[in-house]
């Protein structure tokens, strides 16, 4: 997913045909269906239609930029995890995208929800997610957050440090509560993803290391605490992962830890959570497994490993975020300027500037993440030219889509739709350059509903309380 150049990825020379994985489309108006919400089509006028509604209509009602989430698609991806991973507990990772409505959809589809902060807990509870179906994560949970979580009766706390164990014991003493806990461990697995989103190698801030003996010590301490009910082990190896091999190694290492714990205490741990991280298709280069294929691969690995350790299968859980909300979301922008920039050797590059950018999607700038896009408001039979879609921020690195073929006649006023924008776009949005955050709307059965309204200049002025 990352394509770096020694002088920085944005300075990389791009051949006229773009990167090796990008093919010149034979029909530039054709949509690659696996990138878009199920049922996305071009209507007879050539407009992209999501959830039964032309995106031109969403833009007319809501303005641009706007994030559009297809409710039926989101729900069906949530259901696919629940149904394919039979007998498992599935927690949707709220950090990927969370509003009250989304928490309600997740609750209605029978999933639990992962939260990481006071803010995420508030939204989840306000959306009607029962507290006992919440898992509380984080490498630096505050005493206030722990008190609040336990006071609400959250189902489980994923313990991340010895300091946190102290805080949980203190909060439990105050509240007369017992915390149900899993211990997050680092398995040493190097997930094949961007360094900033790989989380289980040893030299990083999350979890307790198996290698150093910290994980076993934390398990023993939680087991012996009168304030905690130790349920098991948690492992999350990273994000946007396509292969199951890293999970296989993590399973083996966590089960070996469970075996060591059993040898030390005589207690068999009841639960194993394997975290999230299942990759999605952002461009034609990505081919993720289906949820059913993923479930089958996990089942086979677990059967094999549990047999090897002569261990009963624990209660299993996973925490998909991106794989549920990512493909359900589309970001819609309006083109403002089109500029052809001459490069060396007689080459040129078409820069298409849109009315958003790195404030509503930081992922390309932060991880060199690749996206794709399509002309959304009309069809065109103009020749496709290699283009770069950029935002309106004062940064050279404000690139949304490094390389994509767009029709040569693209012009100000056209709409561009970016698939795969449901995950980690709105949730990581900022107000850089004082841009108000775009709204998030749900489309379902041809109707549009606002989940998060557009921020206004008034909202921003209200925060600016100085003279
Ligand atoms: N569980 C835990 C403990 C996590 O830390 C995460 C993500 C997930 C589950 C969900 O992972 P997912 O299935 O969504 O990949 N901002 C980055 C991703 C960082 C993810 C952090 N933790 C991005 O935009 O790619």
**Per-residue model confidence (pLDDT) at position 3:** 41
How far apart are the C-alpha atoms of 421 and 165, rounded to whole Å?
A: 37
Average pLDDT over residues 293-306: 97
**Per-residue model confidence (pLDDT) at position 6:** 41
Extract the tokens encoding 161.
Answer: 């440090």
Tell me, using a 6 A CB cutoff, whether residue 275 lines ligand 1.
yes
Annotated domain spans of the chain:
33-69+327-459, 137-319
CATH number of 33-69+327-459: 2.40.37.10
367: annotated binding-site residue?
A: yes
pLDDT digits (tens, 9 = 90+) for 148-163: 999 999 999 999 999 9
271: annotated binding-site residue?
A: no
Who's near 328: CB < 8 A, 6+ residues apart? 37, 69, 70, 71, 73, 74, 77, 422
**b/e map 346-356, b = 16+ CB within 10 Å:** eeebbebbbbb
How far apart are the C-alpha atoms of 413 and 56, rounded to whole Å?
A: 11
Ligand 1 centre to CA of 95 (Å) is 7
Beta-strand pair 447-452/156-159 = unpaired
pLDDT digits (tens, 9 = 90+) for 367-393: 999 999 999 999 999 999 999 999 999
Vertex 42 angle, CA 39 and 48, to 5°: 85
**Per-residue model confidence (pLDDT) at position 195:** 62
pLDDT digits (tens, 9 = 90+) for 238-257: 999 999 999 999 999 999 99
Phi and psi, residue 426, nearest 5°: -60, -35
Torsion angle of the four alpha carbons 453, 75, 129, 88, in this order, in degrees rounded to the nearest 10: -150
pTM given for the model:
0.95
Tell me, using a 6 A CB cutoff, whether residue 326 lines ligand 1.
no
Ligand 1 centre to CA of 202 (Å) is 17
Average pLDDT over residues 334-361: 94
Catalytic site residues?
Answer: 394
CATH number of 137-319: 3.20.20.10
To test the pocket of ligand 1, the residue of 80, 89, 96, 235 to mutate (highest count of ligand atoms within 8 Å of its CB) is: 96
**b/e map 72-87, b = 16+ CB within 10 Å:** bbbbbbbbbbbebbee
Atom of ligand 1 nearest to the CA of 275: 1
Ligand 1 centre to CA of 239 (Å) is 5
**Per-residue model confidence (pLDDT) at position 193:** 65
| Total Cβ atoms within 10 A of residue 69 | 28
pLDDT digits (tens, 9 = 90+) for 158-203: 999 999 999 999 999 999 999 999 999 999 887 766 666 666 667 8
């Amino acid at each position: 997913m990352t394509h770096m150049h020694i002088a920085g990825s944005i300075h990389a020379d791009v051949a006229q045909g773009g990167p090796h994985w990008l093919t010149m489309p034979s029909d530039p108006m054709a949509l690659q269906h696996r990138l878009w919400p199920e049922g996305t089509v071009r209507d007879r006028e050539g407009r992209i239609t999501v959830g039964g509604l032309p995106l031109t209509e969403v833009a007319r009602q809501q303005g641009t930029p706007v994030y559009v989430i297809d409710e039926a698609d989101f729900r069906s991806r949530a259901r696919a995890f629940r149904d394919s991973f039979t007998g498992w507990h599935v927690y949707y990772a709220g950090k990927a995208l969370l509003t009250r409505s989304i928490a309600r959809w997740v609750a209605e589809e029978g999933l639990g929800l992962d939260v990481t902060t006071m803010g995420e807990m508030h939204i989840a509870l306000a959306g009607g997610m029962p507290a006992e179906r919440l898992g509380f994560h984080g490498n630096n949970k505050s005493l206030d957050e722990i008190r609040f979580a336990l006071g609400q009766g959250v189902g489980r706390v994923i313990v991340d440090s010895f300091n946190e164990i102290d805080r949980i014991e203190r909060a439990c003493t105050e509240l007369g509560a017992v915390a149900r806990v899993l211990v997050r461990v680092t398995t040493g697995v190097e997930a094949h993803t961007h360094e900033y989103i790989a989380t289980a190698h040893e030299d990083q801030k999350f979890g307790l290391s198996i290698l150093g003996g910290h994980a076993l010590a934390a398990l023993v301490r939680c087991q012996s605490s009168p304030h905690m009910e130790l349920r098991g082990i948690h492992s999350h190896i990273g994000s946007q992962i396509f292969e199951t091999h890293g999970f296989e190694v993590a399973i083996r290492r966590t089960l070996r830890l469970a075996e060591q714990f059993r040898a030390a205490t005589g207690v068999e741990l009841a639960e194993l959570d394997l975290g999230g991280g299942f990759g999605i298709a952002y461009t034609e280069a990505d081919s993720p497994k289906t949820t059913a294929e993923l479930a089958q691969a996990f089942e086979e690995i677990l059967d094999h490993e549990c047999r090897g350790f002569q261990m009963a299968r624990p209660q299993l859980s996973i925490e998909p975020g991106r794989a549920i909300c990512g493909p359900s979301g589309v970001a819609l922008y309006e083109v403002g300027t089109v500029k052809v920039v001459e490069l060396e050797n007689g080459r040129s590059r078409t820069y298409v500037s849109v009315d958003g950018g790195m404030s509503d999607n930081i992922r390309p700038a932060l991880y060199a993440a690749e996206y794709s896009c399509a002309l959304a408001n009309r069809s065109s039979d103009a020749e496709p030219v290699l283009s770069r879609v950029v935002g309106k921020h004062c940064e050279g690195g404000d690139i949304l889509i490094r390389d994509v073929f767009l029709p040569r006649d693209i012009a100000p006023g056209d709409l561009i739709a970016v698939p795969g924008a449901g995950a980690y776009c709105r949730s990581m949005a900022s107000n850089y350059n004082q841009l108000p955050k775009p709204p998030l709307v749900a489309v379902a059965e041809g109707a549009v509903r606002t989940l998060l309204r557009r921020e206004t200049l008034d909202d921003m002025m209200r925060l600016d309380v100085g003279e």
